[in-house]
Structure 1
C-alpha cells in the first residue's frame, strides 16, 4: 500500500507566469494563476506548477557543486522539430552536440535542465 500519491511537480523560479507560458508552449495545457503560484494543467490530467522564489539561483549543468537536483524528460516524436520549437520559446542548449543520441539537454528560461527524448 502506498503512503502517498504524486500530486504535482513544482518548479521554483523568479517569474512563475513566464515559466508557465514556456512550458505551456512546449507541452500544451491550461494555465491557472494564483498569487505567487501558477498551475499548468496538462493534457491527460497531469500538472506542473510554478512558484515564485525570491533569490532564486538556477542550477548549473553539469556541475558537481551546483547540481541540477532533478530534471524533466519530455518525450517527442521528432528531436529536430521539438528542438526548433523549444529554442524559439526561449530554451538554451546545454548538451546537444551529439546528434546520434536519442536525447538532447536544454535549460528552460529559469535555468532548469530538461531533456527532449525521442520516443
Structure 2
C-alpha cells in the first residue's frame, strides 16, 4: 500500500451548499474542524458516519457532467444504498437533486452541481 485515502473531492460552484446536500443524503457533519483542511468559501467538507470524508472545492470554470453524454463525462459517481427508495428519492429531490433515469432497479440523479449519483434499494 502506498497511501491512505483522505477524502474524495468534488469540484463545484458552491462548496458549502453541495456539502449540505450530501449531508442530507449520507448524514454526517458539515465543516467539522479538521487540521487536514482549511474551511472557507472555496472549500467545504462532510465527515460521514461511515468514516468517509467528502470535500467540495470551488472551481470557477466548473462544467457539470451531462451523463450519459461522453462529450461531458461523469468522471466518477457515487452509489448510495438506501432502505426506502421512494423516501430517498423524495428527500434528494426536495434538496435540489435532478432525476436523470431509472436503470436496472437503480435510480440515477444529479446532485445540485450536476454530478451523477445512483440510489440503490437495500
- Provide the TM-score with structure 2 as the length reference: 0.89
CA separation in 1, counterparts of 2:70 and 2:16?
A: 30
CA separation in 1, counterparts of 2:76 and 2:50?
A: 22
Q: Give the alignment partner of residue 102 of structure 1, picking from 90, 95, 105.
A: 105
Corresponding position of 1:65? 71
Listed one character per residue, the Cα deviations across residues 36-95 of structure 1 (whole Å, up to 9, x for unaligned) are 111101113211110011111101111121111110000101211111111111100001
Matches for 1:18-57 after TM superposition, within 5 Å? 18-32=17-31, 34-35=39-40, 36-57=42-63
SS of the residue aligned with 1:87? helix
Listed one character per residue, the Cα deviations across residues 76-115 of structure 1 (whole Å, up to 9, x for unaligned) are 012111111111111000013x5xx321000000000000
Shift of 1:16: 0.2
- Provide the TM-score with structure 1 as the length reference: 0.91
Segments of 5+ residues of structure 2 without an aligned counterpart are: 33-38
Give structure 1 regions of 4+ aligned residues with deviation exceeding 4 angstroms.
Answer: none
Corresponding position of 2:87? 81
Segments of 5+ residues of structure 1 without an aligned counterpart are: none
SS of the residue aligned with 2:50? helix
